[in-house]
Amino acid sequence: MIRVQNLTKRYARATAVDQISFAVEKGQIVGFLGPNGAGKTTTMRMLTCFLPPSAGTATIAGFDVLEQPFEVKKRIGYLPESPPIYPEMETVEYLRFVGRLKGLSGAMLEERINYVCDRCFVADVKTKLLGKLSKGYRQRVGLAQAIIHNPDVLILDEPTAGLDPKQINETRDLIKSLAGDHTIILSTHILPEVEQTCEQVVIINKGKLVATDSVRNLQERARGAETILIEVAPRASAPDASLTLQIQQRLERIPGVSRVVCREPSGPDMVFEAESQHGQLIRGDLARAVVESGWDLNELRPASMSLEEIFLQLTGSETHSEPDKTPAPQRIPASEPNA
Amino acid sequence: MRNTWTICRKELRSYFVSPVAYLLLAMFSLIFGFFFWNALGYFVIEGIEMQMRGQAIPMNINEQIIRPLLSNASVLGLFFIPMITMRLFAEEKRTGTIELLTTSPVRDLEIVLGKWSAALILYACLLLFTALNFSFLFLYGNPDWKPLAVGYLGLLLQAGGLLAIGTFISTLTKNQIIAGAATFGVCLLLWVLEWVSGYESATWATVLAYLSVITHFDSFGRGVIEIKDTVFYFTLIFLGLFFTSRSMESLRWRS
Ligand SMILES: Nc1ncnc2c1ncn2[C@@H]1O[C@H](COP(=O)(O)OP(=O)(O)O)[C@@H](O)[C@H]1O
Ligand SMILES: [Mg+2]
């Protein structure tokens, strides 16, 4: 449904989007994930024919955004970063205006207005001035506007930004419920949003594509080779090098454990990192082994990467929450678009 | 065409739900009404004086009231046009609604025409109110209506050209005030250009005077439709709208 090939946007001073390629199949809901300034809005503006690409191509339903913008525009619904509403209009009036722009008229138009009002939960503010609506309602009117002509593709730029948690949940549910009828691409800088709403994820940072994969695959990989952090305290003797080695060897014998390293072999704390083989759960076995050998288990926690950490790592962000964690680097290569 | 009408209607609505339209109507009517009663006062005094001197030169309402009033109206328009056009694009750019318009299956030219025609219709409403004043003349005298009609046609054509320029300037900025001030400056300049012809007759002065929108109104004020003046106004409208739609295009390339 959406094909993006080496899409590039250069501004006078910087390259906002740099050779991005990905593809979205019909009916999918795709999260476009990246920190602020990554180039999400710029990419979406190119997909919606608002900005022309500097290089590369993008096609929507087979129509090129540069060659046949008119055909593309007919098939997309777009919710920009801030809902494009006219404060002096009433909700219904606004939807009627947008519907006419999208080519609807007559009974069909009125029918669609009623439908989208119900669908997006704005039926109770039909005759309210848009300027007087709360942020949550404006966002929903923005969504209603985007789906009024029943477009094949929905492009939503940070649809939950600036909403309170309750509104965020409502909006996410609404978007999910729209997924059956439309191909959706939504941008966000919030990771759980992608985990909760999307099937596919496209991660970009500083204009470059970092990864594209299904959310499940990413989670699998995150979960796959788990790294567990264990702190052991010997009950009887003082910690020394031979004991450290002994514990390490004991842990390595556990089935499913691929590697055990000691954090500080000469230090007083005996902290180990046990890495599991792909898909193996080793926490219980680790705990049991330590206790059954007569040692105390002071701490046991996953040091593996959550999706969040993968994201932070992939995007090279420095805001690491726990600096003592040094997860084994897990490169997820930017796979080719599965076209 | 349908899209043009959709946009035009939306613009008209936003003029008339806000106080803008009413304020402009009130101000325009008030000032023009003042001109009118002044002109009428002079006309009456002059008439009485002539009678007292025993002269019997026939008084001409068309020449002595309508013609000067029409040219007053054409100057007055210069001050109101910026207030009509300044928000057209600047506001949409500021609030981001321009993204809605330009990502809808609507051609740039349709958007431009819709906005410009809404501005022209609002201006026509202003003129309609001035026409009320003239209807008094028809009640108490019998002026020739044809020169008046031609005069109004001229006023509309002139406004069409200036509104097109104002619409163009509005695409250049996000700030309404800047758009308004710049349009006002250009309108004023296009008016005073004519002054050079007062003391200079070289070619450059003739060209400058030709560019002045006011000089082309004279013929309409006299009740004559001159081809060259009509062509001038149509050229102004065409160029203004052309540059507006080009500007909308390049707005995207630049932004
Ligand atoms: N009109 C513009 N002119 C110059 N640079 C821009 C413009 N718009 C965006 N940028 C730059 O492009 C980069 C990507 O911006 P954007 O697409 O808005 O990111 P995101 O939506 O992911 O936060 C940013 O570094 C931003 O400064
Ligand atoms: Mg953005």
CB spacing of B6 vs A74 below 8 angstroms = no
Nearest residue by C-alpha to atom 16 in ligand 1: A39
Kindly identify which residue of chain A lies nearest to residue B91, measuring between CA atoms: A86
CB spacing of A101 vs B6 below 8 angstroms = yes
CB spacing of A80 vs B96 below 8 angstroms = yes
List beta partners, residue B14: none
List beta partners, residue A307: none
Interface of B with A in 16-75 (CB under 8 A): 17-18
Atom of ligand 1 nearest to the CA of A43: 17
pLDDT at B246 over 50: yes
pLDDT given for residue A71 in this prediction: 93
What spacing in Å lies between the alpha carbon of A161 and ligand 2's midpoint? 10
Domain count, chain B: 1
The one-digit pLDDT tens for each residue of chain A (339 residues) are: 899 999 999 988 889 999 999 999 888 899 998 888 899 999 999 999 999 999 999 999 999 999 999 999 999 999 999 899 999 999 999 999 999 999 999 999 999 999 999 988 899 999 999 999 998 899 999 999 999 999 999 999 999 887 888 888 888 888 888 887 889 999 988 877 887 888 888 989 888 888 888 877 776 665 556 778 888 877 666 667 777 888 888 888 888 887 888 876 666 668 888 877 766 777 888 888 888 888 888 888 776 455 566 666 666 654 433 333 344 444 444 444 443
pLDDT digits (tens, 9 = 90+) for B79-110: 999 999 999 999 999 999 999 999 999 999 99
Kindly identify which residue of chain B lies nearest to residue A97, measuring between CA atoms: B6
Of the candidates B6, B102, B253, the beta carbon closest to that of A97 is on B6
Of the candidates A49, A84, A103, the beta carbon closest to that of B97 is on A84
Nearest residue by C-alpha to atom 1 in ligand 1: B255
CB spacing of B96 vs A51 below 8 angstroms = no
pLDDT given for residue A310 in this prediction: 64
Q: What is the C-alpha to C-alpha distance for residues A285 and B23, in angstroms, rounded to an integer?
A: 81
Interface test with A, best of B16, B99, B108 (most A CBs within 10 A): B99
pLDDT at B151 over 60: yes
Contacts of A97 in chain B (CB under 8 A): 6, 10
pLDDT given for residue A149 in this prediction: 94
Task: Give buried/exposed letters for B244-255 (b at 16+ CB in 10 A, else e).
Answer: bbebbeebeeee
pLDDT at B56 over 60: yes
Distances (CA, A) of A63 to A67, A155, A181, B106, B157: 8, 16, 20, 17, 42
CB spacing of B96 vs A73 below 8 angstroms = no
Atom of ligand 1 nearest to the CA of A38: 22
Interchain contact B142–A (C-beta under 8 A): no
Sorted by where each begins, the domain ranges of chain A are 2-218, 224-315
What's the mean per-residue pLDDT of chain B? 88
Q: Structural domain of residue B132, as residue ranges?
A: 2-254
Contacts of A48 in chain B (CB under 8 A): 99, 103
Of the candidates A48, A51, A86, the beta carbon closest to that of B14 is on A86
Atom of ligand 1 nearest to the CA of A204: 22
pLDDT at B251 over 80: no
Nearest residue by C-alpha to atom 5 in ligand 1: A11
pLDDT given for residue A31 in this prediction: 92
Q: Do residues B65 and B137 touch, judged by C-beta distance below 8 A?
A: yes
| Phi, psi (rounded to 5 degrees) for A185 | -125, 120
pLDDT given for residue A247 in this prediction: 83
Ligand showing the shortest atom-to-Cα distance for residue A161? 2
Q: Which two tokens mark B58?
A: 């026939």
Kindly identify which residue of chain A lies nearest to residue B19, measuring between CA atoms: A88
Residues with CB under 6 Å of ligand 1 are A 11, 14, 16, 34, 36-42; B 255
**Would you tell me how many other CB atoms lie within 10 Å of the CB of residue B65?**
21
Chain A nearest-CA distance from B234, in A, is 28
A2-218: CATH number: 3.40.50.300
Ligand showing the shortest atom-to-Cα distance for residue A33? 1
pLDDT given for residue A334 in this prediction: 45
How many beta-carbon pairs under 8 angstroms link A with B?
67
Kindly identify which residue of chain B lies nearest to residue A47, measuring between CA atoms: B103
Q: What is the C-alpha to C-alpha distance for residues B210 and A180, in angstroms, rounded to an integer?
A: 63
Nearest residue by C-alpha to atom 24 in ligand 1: A37
Contacts of B102 in chain A (CB under 8 A): 49-50
For the ranges A112-126, B13-27, B192-206, the lowest mean pLDDT is seen at: B192-206
pLDDT given for residue A327 in this prediction: 42
Kindly identify which residue of chain B lies nearest to residue A88, measuring between CA atoms: B14
Pick the CATH number of A224-315 from 3.30.70.1340, 3.60.15.10, 3.30.420.280, 1.10.357.10: 3.30.70.1340
Nearest residue by C-alpha to atom 27 in ligand 1: A37
Chain B nearest-CA distance from A314, in A, is 29
pLDDT at B122 over 80: yes
Among A42, A45, A190, which is best to mutate for testing ligand 1, by the most ligand atoms less than 8 A from CB?
A: A42
Q: What is the C-alpha to C-alpha distance for residues A35 and A311, in angstroms, rounded to an integer?
A: 10
Which residues, in sequence order, are CB contacts of B3 under 8 Å at separation 6+?
A: A100, A101, B106, B107, B110, B111, B114
List beta partners, residue A206: none
Of the candidates A73, A85, A88, the beta carbon closest to that of B18 is on A88
pTM here?
0.81
Q: Which residues surround ligand 2, an ion (CB under 5 A)?
A: A 40-41
3-state secondary structure of A331: coil
pLDDT given for residue A248 in this prediction: 83
Which residues, in sequence order, are CB contacts of A75 under 8 Å at separation 6+?
A: A60, A61, A63, A151, A152, A153
Q: What is the CB-side half-sphere exposure of residue A331 using CA atoms within 13 A?
A: 3
